[in-house]
Structure 1
């Protein structure tokens, strides 16, 4: 394994400094109304570092929250905070007030650089944040200000220039990024300079970025991985703030973008958009569409590849891994996988029960090690690894002889039917191929004989002949719904193994998801478990539609 890598001693803000020295007049960050060149972005970060120095926030223990909005202010603020010697704490501006309270209080944030809407939310919980000294509003200069907040540009007026400081320890913490919390309370992940610079190098190599690349970020948030990898390569970043998926293709065409970054939820919408079926904007020159965060449905990926004429690349990682560990390559990728490991990284699969390493083709828990592995969790000590440095991801997968990894599911999401592992995500992929299914979620219904049975909550597509959608408990009363659910389950079961076939379906209004599109499966499982435990907790009494899976079989 490669433990050293190019520029391994470089601090995170050195990525920006290096890019400014190599490409001072090159476009670093562009929006529809503004362009910052590398030298300008570097000078902007210097101003923020100088202001923080004047306020006494030049020590690693000083934690400064930065909301990762899709705006040039984030790029400058993130690197300015780290340049000043403080620790940047990433704040998700789309989270709830409760989520904000958790992040700001747990990390003991002293200054928060956030957009106006987030600043107003913080004001409602300000009394619960004794460490917070100031709220500074980033983004649009004419944004409304809550009481006590100041705009970033006003804060920088009159701030002394950044005089420079001592070189940070490469293994010192540069950033705290919280996990999404879909499997429990969000944890603060401690990422060192070495972690982040390593992953910038790894991502740039995997995505094929160079100084000639132009990346279009069609994301609700500005991800540090995209920021740092583009700086490492000297690539231009175009921030598309319009959520309309087809508008993002127009923006990509105008920018002459080579790489398109999108979340699966938005790519699903793009694949289903009738406007895309009529043709793509003339002059589109993308070399790849890149997706991550959650699984991209195979049918959506195929549709985008056919209509855009470029590979749709998927990757894998997590906050604890800075985040990227696996990625398909634009010139060599295998459908249905997330590719092979990025440079300097090792991966193995181990038996879910014994922890014994498994060979190619076997299903087990994914374990990795590499220079991007976090320094630890906030308040919990060093990184939890085994004696050989392997980190258990909590995800289940399998790999072929070439190392292409196929994700099965989260370890906490899979369940067993007669000792066979059932992957809810796999069943959802099969269901999603049915044109009558707008969305779906799969989970386990407790069963004393087999351990668990497959339950599927299905959002029927408009115009399926069922009339308006109702609550799950009233699903059986929707005209035509039961027949449609029967047909959907029957079609899916023809493609599923005996142990993973759908036993029960239920019509849903919507699938519960987080703001970035991840299914809140644990909440669904808890509800099913509670319903099954009720005195009359049989599927027939709870609005579910039972489905036989073999001729003559009758459940309940």
Structure 2
């Protein structure tokens, strides 16, 4: 039996570079030795509270220093982390606690109202991060090291935001997470120990957790946390702390490119990684022009730890693609209509993106049917549509369920969005299908205008008609102040569909 623990990521740094700054958040600055010492003390407190190896412990906290400390404390105690999205309502938090069978909730004071009420409703113990957890840690015997775990034992259960009904818990092993962090740090990106990364992505989300926290620390680099993302504040903090690495989602890159116009000094960025949703090429160009730094766009899902493919220096960068698969991972295109087996397609053909490798999860917690549907012939079916070109670059075309079928023709919202974002008066756009008596579905663009511009819907329709195929251009344009974003900063298209379906 091979043993392995995510906690080793922190423990090894404490051994190899104890005095190096690991974590910065506001006035808090901690070395690797200090973070590990805090994590071991809190792991001791968890054990004294009756937490046993394999028990699930929920963690609900923003990007403050308490998050990584609690995360590694849970791992060190041999328990399983269940991160809770901060934007969930009380009933949604209840579902996560109940479905995961959590023994305990570690909750930040800022989330105490929702977290405590949900925990009380399902009979789960709560410990508040900060004073209460610190006191328990001070009274406990710190663990000498982390508890032994099998490499295939569960380490984290991520609740997928559930575009299809109830959120499901994707179970990731210690092996999944340690490999994903290692390969992300040393094979996909060139992460160096003297790098300083900004942790602006939510750490409760797979992207922030693996790419910002675990892979930064796997390389022995420093993580600077930003509890609430604000572009001007992010630029200021990056300059002040000498940050050279930024990981973000497209909405963050949009905001940074806009804020750069007002900033007096910009950070010197060496590594920029985008994921979480498709990055429109126009946004990439705007950001790169402002910061003079290349963005490496990647792709992944909670079920793939999450990184599956990324534009990597070794293969070169191709804007509009998510690059090549990570080391040790295969990403291919399979026939989307064939459900019961995997039938791989030739380069250039459109189909469903499928993934196999060390990053693929063990399954959905307590849901064997859903697991069997997702894991077929050793491949994970992502539900995304894409192509792979002759050079091996993967392009994500759209979610299978976001495709608009207008008059029998498939329209891929992402393609329409890419074109619309070139309109000077459009800051953000989401394209959805709305019910239509004649065509089944009609293409609808929901537009956030650029500041200081005034744009009429019919003008956008006319403009896009000249640039898009007859079945593709939006016949309907809705103007709004902001697009609804999920906890991982993705645009919630299901909310937009519900909002504009009847109109």
Q: State whether TM-score is above 0.5.
A: yes
Query: In structure 2, how many angstroms separate the alpha carbons of the residues matched to 1:30 and 1:315?
Result: 26
Please name the residue that 1:157 is paired with. 138
Is the aligned partner of 1:121 residue 2:114? yes
> Which of 32, 41, 49 is the aligned partner of 1:55?
49
Q: Does 1:443 align with 2:424?
A: no
1:442 is displaced (CA, Å) by 1.7
In the alignment, the residues of structure 2 paired with residue 303 and residue 425 of structure 1 have an alpha-carbon distance, to the nearest angstrom, of 18
Which residue is equivalent to 2:302? 319
- For the pair 1:250 / 2:232, whether they are aligned, the reply is no
| Counterparts of 1:463 and 1:443, CA distance in 2 | 25
Distance change (3 Å), C-alpha of 1:215 and 1:200: same
1:505 Cα deviation from its structure 2 partner? 2.5
Partner of 1:410: 399
For residue 372 of structure 1, what is the aligned residue in structure 2?
Answer: 359
Residue 267 of structure 1: CA displacement?
1.9
SS in 1 for 2:39: helix
SS at match of 1:12: coil
SS in 1 for 2:384: strand
- Structure 1 position 340, deviation (Å): 0.8
Q: Secondary structure at the match of 1:499?
A: coil
8 Å contact from structure 1 (residues 327, 338) kept in 2: yes
CA distance in 2, matches of 1:297, 1:251: 26
Shift of 1:373: 0.6
Contact 2:60-2:83 within 8 A present in 1 as well = yes
Q: Is structure 2 residue 312 aligned with structure 1 residue 329?
A: yes
Q: Which residue of 2 aligns with 1:37?
A: 31
C-alpha distance in structure 1 between counterparts of 2:72 and 2:118, whole Å = 27
1:242 to 1:511, Cα distance in 2 relative to 1, 3 A:
closer
Please say if 1:106 is aligned against 2:103.
no
CA distance in 2, matches of 1:95, 1:188: 15
Q: Is the 8 A contact 2:41 2:138 kept in 1?
A: no
Task: Report if the CA contact (8 A) 1:47-1:161 is conserved.
Answer: yes
The equivalent residue for 2:284 is 301
**Does the CA contact (< 8 Å) of 2:85 and 2:487 recur in 1?**
no
In the superposition, relative to structure 1, how do residues 192 and 491 fare at CA in structure 2: closer, same or farther (>3 Å)? same
SS at match of 2:7: helix
The aligned residue for residue 18 of structure 2 is 24
The answer for unaligned runs of 5 or more in structure 2 is none
Q: Which residue of 1 aligns with 2:226?
A: 240
**2:380 equivalent in structure 1:** 391
Residues 268, 297 of structure 1: 8 Å contact kept: no
Give 2:343's match in structure 1, choosing from 356, 368, 386. 356
Structure 1 residue 372, shift from structure 2 partner: 1.0
Aligned-pair CA distance for 1:159: 0.5
In structure 2, relative to structure 1, the CA distance for the partners of 1:236 and 1:165 (3 Å cut) is closer
**Kept after mapping to 1: 8 A contact 2:184/2:307:** yes
2:188 to 193, 202, 206: 206
Equivalent position SS for 2:432: strand
Deviates further, 402-411 or 350-359: 350-359
1:185 corresponding residue in structure 2? 166
1:345 aligned residue: 329
Counterpart of 1:495 in structure 2 is 467
Equivalent of 1:135, from 123, 127, 143?
127
CA distance in 1, matches of 2:430, 2:221: 38
> In 2, are the aligned partners of 1:396 and 1:411 still within 8 Å (CA)?
yes
In structure 1, how many angstroms separate the alpha carbons of the residues matched to 2:3 and 2:116?
40
Change (3 A) 1:105 1:21: same
Shift in Å, 1:72: 2.0
- Structure 1 unaligned spans of 5+: 1-7, 142-150, 466-480, 532-541, 543-556
Question: 1: distance between equivalents of 2:270 and 2:262?
Answer: 21
Task: Select which of 386, 389, 394 maps to 1:400.
Answer: 389
Equivalent-residue separation in structure 2 for 1:340 and 1:246 (angstroms): 32
Q: TM-score, normalised by structure 2?
A: 0.91
Displacement of 1:187 in angstroms is: 0.9
2: CA distance, partners of 1:25 / 1:462: 46
State whether residues 111 and 136 of structure 1, in contact with CA within 8 Å, keep that contact through their aligned partners in structure 2. no
Alignment partner, residue 486 of structure 1: 458
Q: Say if 1:218 and 1:262, in contact at 8 Å, map to a contact too.
A: yes
Provide the residue aligned with 1:224 in structure 2: 209
Rate the CA distance shift 1:168–1:378 in 2: closer, same or farther, 3 A.
Answer: same
Question: Where does residue 264 of structure 1 map in the other structure?
Answer: 250
TM-aligned CA deviation for residue 38 of structure 1: 1.1
Offset of residue 20 of structure 1: 1.4
5 Å matches for 1:63-74? Answer: 63-74=56-67
SS of equivalent residue, structure 1 residue 435: coil
Task: Indicate how the Cα distance of structure 1 residues 491 and 402 shifts in structure 2: closer, same or farther if over 3 A, else same.
Answer: same
